[in-house]
Amino acid sequence: DGGITQSPKYLFRKEGQNVTLSCEQNLNHDAMYWYRQDPGQGLRLIYYSQIVNDFQKGDIAEGYSVSREKKESFPLTVTSAQKNPTAFYLCASSPQVSGANVLTFGAGSRLTVL
Amino acid sequence: AQKITQTQPGMFVQEKEAVTLDCTYDTSDPSYGLFWYKQPSSGEMIFLIYQGSYDQQNATEGRYSLNFQKARKSANLVISASQLGDSAMYFCAMREGLSNSGYALNFGKGTSLLVTP
């Protein structure tokens, strides 16, 4: 079945540590996205990538980094510079088309900083 | 500025009744798309329905319909014949044709829907 796999589902981190969240898709989608979700805040865009080896900052990119070396993979690193990293992180992908460009989401990764 | 506004933090509806979830949006782009997603307690985001700004008819998908009022910049989701499994968070989202975020979606803060027996 085609879809998006995010891992780990739950992650605990000590302050000052970098962590990397994995996102893999087998939908052959060109574009991939990372969103952060906090209670009562909705989803906010961290980074997006429209093509391999290219990515752009979203609205809240500070303290995060990404790479897009393969079409299928778009890992997100939460660095120690991110002041409040405890959140639910959602990865998504979509075809690069106009119109009903539906984003397909993974199941999410919940990061807790201790 | 908030581009998507969902004014109802929480809603209740009785099983088998219809419910309307409100969404207003703000854009000066003539080309845009509006989306609704459902998020159950498990966390995954499930696509429900899409409406393009040039679509003449309101979108429908099974029990879901979108009440699109372009002049009022509103895109309300109507769920008919509510079921217990409809209890979830519902998010309205928009993609603008001239966005500087590629094809990313801009989400509202969501409405929590609880369906009661």
Q: Which residues of chain B lie closer than 8 angstroms to A102, CB-CB?
A: 35, 47, 50
pLDDT of residue A109: 97
End-to-end CA distance of chain A: 36
Of B43, B105, B110, the CB nearest to A103: B105
Rg (CA), chain A: 13
Residue B1: alpha-carbon gap to chain centroid: 19
- Which residues lie below 8 Å from residue A93, measured CB to CB, with a gap of 6+? A4, A25, A27, A29, A31, A32, A33, A74, A103, A104
**Three-class SS of residue B74?**
strand
For B36-93, the pLDDT digits (tens) are 999 999 999 999 999 999 999 999 999 999 999 999 999 999 999 999 999 999 999 9
The token pair that represents B2 in the structure block: 């908030």
Q: Which residues of chain A lie closer than 8 angstroms to B4, CB-CB?
A: 42
State how far residue B46 is from chain A, nearest Cα, in angstroms: 8
Of B52, B91, B102, the CB nearest to A42: B91
For A9-29, the pLDDT digits (tens) are 999 999 889 999 999 999 999
